[in-house]
Amino acid sequence: MKKGFRNKKLWGLLALLLCISLAAPAVNVQAASKKSQAIKAYKNFLAGKPNNGSYDFAMIYLDNDSVPELLVGAFLYTFKDGKVTQHSVVFGDSGCSYYKKKGVIVTLHTHNNVIYKEGMQGSDYYKFTKSKLTRKLYKECVYKINSNGKTVGKKKYSYSRYNSKNMQVKTTKAKFDSALKQMAGKKKPVKIKMHRNTKANRNKYLK
């Protein structure tokens, strides 16, 4: 009896493993299919737009799945319910970066005042959840510049978080770093490189 019971357990375990192995490829195929659908939709979307600099693009993996997102000019787009959907403005006059698959995107803004020989860089940290972008953190750096616009002297940093009314509230570096770690973990930011909206670039970078 004991031997028969062990055999039944063994056959049950083998059957379970077989079911899992058969189901896994189906899940992978489904994910790959949705990714290919998104890329095809992004290509069609961009193909109807001019190559004038306003529609420079980059494909990124912002949230934690296999379906990419598309950054075009100052807008973030996602593929949802078979359509390309536009979201909030994400614009940095000095570029953008993101924490891959952590849902965090950072925009960088730089302003130099050559008259007063002062410079400023501001970084907004957005969290992407359920197809929505929300500003969470802000870091600012001020510094002196020379007549050629080059940074001189020591940079001074300040830190803020955004409250429920989207207003900046001053915080400490320690609290800022802790909040960012909660959002991005130990990931390092990746600088986003934009590409001109040409057919060659669409074929090269949307794949």
Q: Please tell me which residue, 32 or 123, carries the higher pLDDT value.
A: 123
Over the stretch 113-159, which tens digit does the pLDDT of each residue have? 888 899 999 999 999 987 788 999 999 999 999 988 888 889 999 99
Selected residue with higher pLDDT from 162 and 89 = 162
Q: In the predicted model, is pLDDT for residue 99 greater than 60?
A: yes
What is the reported pLDDT for 182? 97
Give pLDDT tens digits for 39-50: 999 999 999 999
- pLDDT score at 12: 52
Q: For the full predicted model, state whether its pTM sits above 0.75.
A: yes
pLDDT tens digits for 51-91?
A: 999 999 999 999 999 999 999 988 999 998 899 999 877 77
For the cut 50, the answer to whether the pLDDT of residue 22 exceeds it is: no
Strands (E) located in the chain: 57-60, 69-72, 75-80, 83-89, 96-99, 104-113, 118-129, 132-145, 151-162, 168-171, 190-191
Burial of residue 137, with CB atoms counted within 10 A of its CB: 0-12 exposed, 13-18 middle, 19 or more buried? buried
pLDDT higher than 50, residue 18: no
Residues 180-202: pLDDT tens digits?
A: 999 999 999 999 999 999 999 99
Q: How far is CA 71 from the centre of its chain?
A: 9
Give the span between the Cα atoms of 22 and 29, in whole angstroms.
12
